[in-house]
A and B are shown apart, each in its own frame.
Chain A
Amino acid sequence: MTHLLEVDGLKTHFFTHDGVVLAVDGVSFTLDAGQTLGVVGESGSGKSVTALSIMGLIPAAQGRVVAGDIRFKGESIVGIDEDKMREIRGNRIAMIFQDPMTSLNPVFRVGVQVAESLRIHKGMNKADANQRAVELLDLVGIPHPAERARDYPHQFSGGMRQRAMIAMALACDPDILVADEPTTALDVTIQAQIIDLMMSLQERTGSAVIMITHDLGVVADIADNVLVMYAGKPAEYGKADEVFYKPLHPYAWGLLDSLPRHDVNEKTELCPIKGQPPSLVNVPPGCAFHPRCPYVKDICRTAVPELRDIGGGHMAACHFAGEAGFTRVEMACAGVSA
């Protein structure tokens, strides 16, 4: 069966003076129409590079997809002709960027920018495209869309700019919407609105969504599948409920323990993961997570764990995942020392 999007063993490396950066190193997942995939991980875990690889936006001077394949509707889109890629970009696969404050061009009216992809891909004339842009701005909940379409970005608040960005991304009714931390730069009060908006629009349009975030709460709510990334590699992949309620990888446990919860004693301190993500130039040998893992054993220091199916499509890249007796110690940081 052909999936809408298949990412198969994707490796995207950057070539710098310091050495080769293994930004994405063996990521696989599939996405079907209407589905939502949550990609979570710390900064520098390769989430955004995965997204840019799908968009074909890895700057050629610095890096490229060195292995693996990305198939859109069964056809590979890695290394295809730039003209062909441009027809997909913004048209079939659209992207929402992290920071709405800088993602809109300050010298053009918002409506013109929303209309831009319609003019590029649909060949609409100015008047039709602008008319459609107003409808799109209305769709994403911008009041007085006809008037606001004539505003410049600096006259919009952050939340409204992100709505405008969503309108831009949805203009051509794409099959896939890639959202790279769409709420990170927004006020907490606006974040939920934007997520709600995206989800209701997804229901309406039936597009698939790749939601890149480090907010596990968002993922648990909206995603069908979740991919947890660490140091450019998949750490855990499975259905959202499984990953969220029965996580298998110690990294996923750590992420969950780092979150404030309402069901534990208010005096319980948060339990952050110790240390920092590794440099992607010198990834630790063995399991990349082993220097920070409270459950580390000898084998972790030498052998790279493969991502394997623990059961029912729930996959984890840990030597001990699924073993009897290898279970999460709640708030492990207090007891187990690294």
Chain B
Amino acid sequence: MSPADKNMGNPDHIGEAHNPEEFHPDGGMGTTPVAVIDSEASSRTLLRDAIRRLRRNKLAIAAIIWIVIMVAVALSADLWVGSVLGDPIKIDTTQVVKQSLQTPTLAHPFGRDDLGRDILARVIYGARISLAVGVIATAISVFIGLIMGALAAYYGGLLDSFVMRLTDVFLAFPYILFAIALIAVLGRGFVNIFIAIGLLGWPTIARVFRSSILQVKENEYVDAARALGAGDVRIMARHIMPNAVAPIIVYATMSIGGAILTEAAMSFLGVGILQPTPAWGLMLSDARGYIYNAPHLMIFPGLAILTTVLAFVLLGDGLRDALDVKMKD
């Protein structure tokens, strides 16, 4: 929390005393530009405003820090984990009996699993899987969802009905069951998990985006743009999209957490990542047999899932507040 606290005293909002309600008794005619008095305020941008609002949200900052740490650790894992903690996959057959289920020590802070592998190392490599699934599956969902949502909202009518009924069909299936069915069809494998989870996520994105566009479309500035002579493409790209996309950013951030959770559940059930690749859900599954005599096998991957999913949800929540233009603080 402390880095977030430091940010609270940031001098960023000094320019705020700026008051746009300048009064012109002469009707304002013939006013000539005078010296710059409010360039500080004028240089504020929506993005900067959003970042400033995000900085005030301690939970969101904590979430960002946690995500950054995780990404950094996961990306750099090849450089140090093997030598410091030990190989996350290979089993040292000479030591298995001695090291199996070893409780946490200073050298192996998360302990060792039933096959004597370092759990921290496995959690770190598991983070690679989880983050990759979260980001890539969400990217697939967002890509399909944005296109479908935009088509439905913009053209309306039959196409709208068709897309929305299609989302109904997708959403009518139990989530995990549908994912398992897709894996059964596509075959097991790393890439197929991205695809399966990605395909599951698009209907919600499409619906959120559709409703968001429909709402934005009603705004008078869209009519005003049309009255300026702007064409369909320009109106869609410049006036509707940028205003409709904020809920998608928020929802996509949160659904990264959701995708991680789904992958973990699938791996836990044995339809996700294959052994011996370290994945959090798989580790939980392996730990079931030792839940009473070696709970650390279960606790650490469980905590990894919990904190990661929570971080993305909290970040999404913070973004929702930060991206709201109407929130003038």
Tell me the A residues contacting B by CB distance below 8 Å. 55, 57, 61, 86-91, 94-95, 97-99, 102-108, 116-117, 120-121, 138, 140-148, 150-152, 154-157, 160, 163, 165, 168, 193, 196-197, 200
- Tell me, rounded to whole Å, the shortest Cβ–Cβ distance linking A276 to chain B: 25
What is the bound-complex CA distance between A99 and B22, given in angstroms? Answer: 20
Tell me the B residues contacting A by CB distance below 8 Å. 18, 20-22, 24, 27-34, 36-39, 41-46, 156, 219-221, 223-231, 234, 238-239, 242-243, 325-326, 328
What is the bound-complex CA distance between A147 and B43, given in angstroms? Answer: 9
A97 and B20 in contact (CB under 8 A), knowing A141-B28, A144-B38? no
What is the bound-complex CA distance between A147 and B33, given in angstroms? Answer: 9
- Tell me, rounded to whole Å, the shortest Cβ–Cβ distance linking A98 to chain B: 8
A91 touching B46 by the CB < 8 A rule?
no
Give chain A residues whose Cβ lies under 8 Å from the Cβ of B227: 55, 57, 89-90, 94-95, 97
A97 and B24 in contact (CB under 8 A), knowing A87-B229, A144-B38, A146-B33? no
A120 touching B31 by the CB < 8 A rule?
no
Apart from A86-B229, A168-B224, 12 more pairs, CB < 8 Å: A95-B224, A102-B221, A105-B221, A105-B242, A106-B325, A107-B243, A116-B225, A117-B228, A143-B24, A151-B20, A196-B27, A197-B29
A141 touching B27 by the CB < 8 A rule?
yes
Enumerate the 6 nearest inter-chain pairs by beta-carbon distance, A residue then B residue, closest first. Answer: A141-B28, A90-B229, A90-B228, A89-B229, A95-B227, A102-B220
A200 and B328 in contact (CB under 8 A), knowing A57-B227, A97-B223, A147-B39? no
Give chain A residues whose Cβ lies under 8 Å from the Cβ of B156: 61
Contact of B20 among A106, A150, A157 (CB under 8 A): A157
A120 and B229 in contact (CB under 8 A), knowing A106-B325, A144-B37? yes
- Tell me, rounded to whole Å, the shortest Cβ–Cβ distance linking B324 to chain A: 10
What is the bound-complex CA distance between A309 and B226, given in angstroms? Answer: 37
- Tell me, rounded to whole Å, the shortest Cβ–Cβ distance linking B227 to chain A: 4
- Tell me, rounded to whole Å, the shortest Cβ–Cβ distance linking A306 to chain B: 33
B36 touching A147 by the CB < 8 A rule?
yes
What would 12 A/B residue contacts be, using CB atoms closer than 8 Å?
A: A89-B229, A90-B229, A95-B224, A105-B242, A106-B243, A108-B238, A116-B225, A120-B228, A143-B28, A144-B36, A154-B326, A156-B20
Complex: chain A residue closest to B231, CB-CB: A86
Give chain B residues whose Cβ lies under 8 Å from the Cβ of A116: 225, 228, 230
Taking each of B42, B220, B224, B326, which has the highest tally of chain A beta carbons within 10 Å of its own beta carbon? B224
A57 touching B243 by the CB < 8 A rule?
no
Give chain A residues whose Cβ lies under 8 Å from the Cβ of B231: 86
A150 and B43 in contact (CB under 8 A), knowing A61-B156, A107-B243, A116-B230? yes
A193 and B21 in contact (CB under 8 A), knowing A105-B243, A144-B37? no
Contact of A193 among B27, B234, B242, B328 (CB under 8 A): B27
Complex: chain B residue closest to A178, CB-CB: B227
- Tell me, rounded to whole Å, the shortest Cβ–Cβ distance linking B329 to chain A: 12
What is the bound-complex CA distance between A142 and B31, given in angstroms? Answer: 7
What is the bound-complex CA distance between A103 and B220, given in angstroms? Answer: 5
- Tell me, rounded to whole Å, the shortest Cβ–Cβ distance linking B20 to chain A: 5
Give chain B residues whose Cβ lies under 8 Å from the Cβ of A103: 220-221, 223-224
A141 and B34 in contact (CB under 8 A), knowing A89-B226, A89-B228? no
